[in-house]
Structure 1
């Protein structure tokens, strides 16, 4: 389990993963070596999986986003999963229960690009696509407490 100090450290890192160890230590009221040890333990326990950068797809020219539900045709599950993994425009995907097997998020520049991606899947799966108008809740952590 996480204690209050671990939760505080994680909260600070979520806001700024590039914070210096010295500044992080100052904010949590520990020495730099003690803070580094806490971080090491959080990483060992797989609480912290990575330190990353948040890049806006729009800045890379991907002005459109879609959510696609994918239902592989009989016998095509593993082939469709591999296709999804090999399609770089699919930036997130979950394997789910229910009528569909996969729900993915796509970043694309044009409707023609979306059609090309979906056409590759259509040979092996049924798809249902919705264009994202806005994202009132960006990806976030559940409550730390």
Structure 2
């Protein structure tokens, strides 16, 4: 459910701004304004307010990991930590450079990590590091089934 303050920021124009930014965060205020029907200063003001409200938390660049020598991606699930809390394990796992994302989850696994590696040997070393925190189960990513989904007003309306 949206907070009352956010309802004003997330009117139809606010959602259009978010949609455009999710597709291309490098658009200028002028280009964004043309796309959503606002002036450049109005776009800048809206974006500043959404940042201050914590709705926009950052701007990102997509990187082709293969071009950087990291063609392998894996999802590694960790379960059964001997005497360690899930929060502690997730924090420690998140410090490993090859770990792109790390989640504390419910179910038979306690932590799930998305990792990258340059080779099978490199991945083996990462798995060995992770095994210090729990029993690892590794799944290699063969292909990405879907690009990241845009967060739209329709998705949020489903929970209202």
The partner residue of 1:27 within 32, 35, 38 is 35
| 1:66 matches 2:69 | no
Among 117, 120, 127, the residue aligned to 1:108:
117
Deviation at 1:80, TM superposition (A): 2.7
- Structure 1 unaligned segments of length 5 or more: list them: none
Structure 1 vs Structure 2 CA RMSD: 1.5
Q: Which residue of 1 aligns with 2:150?
A: 141
CA offsets 1:31-63 (integer angstroms, 9 cap, x no match): 111111111111111111011211121121111
Alignment match, 1:90: 99
Counterpart residue number, 1:10: 18
Number of the residue aligned with 2:60: 52
Residues 84-111 of structure 1: CA distance to partner in whole angstroms, max 9, x if unpaired? 1211111011110111111111111111
DSSP-derived class of the 2:100 partner: strand
| Closer, same or farther: CA 124–40 of 1 in aligned 2, 3 Å | closer
Partner SS for 1:117: helix
Structure 1 outlier segments of 4+, above 3 Å: none
Aligned length: 145
Does the Cα contact within 8 Å between 2:19 and 2:152 map onto a contact in 1? no
Which consecutive residues of structure 2, in runs of 5 or more, have no partner in the other structure? 1-6, 155-160
Which of 112, 117, 121 is the aligned partner of 2:126? Answer: 117
TM-score (norm: length of structure 1): 0.92
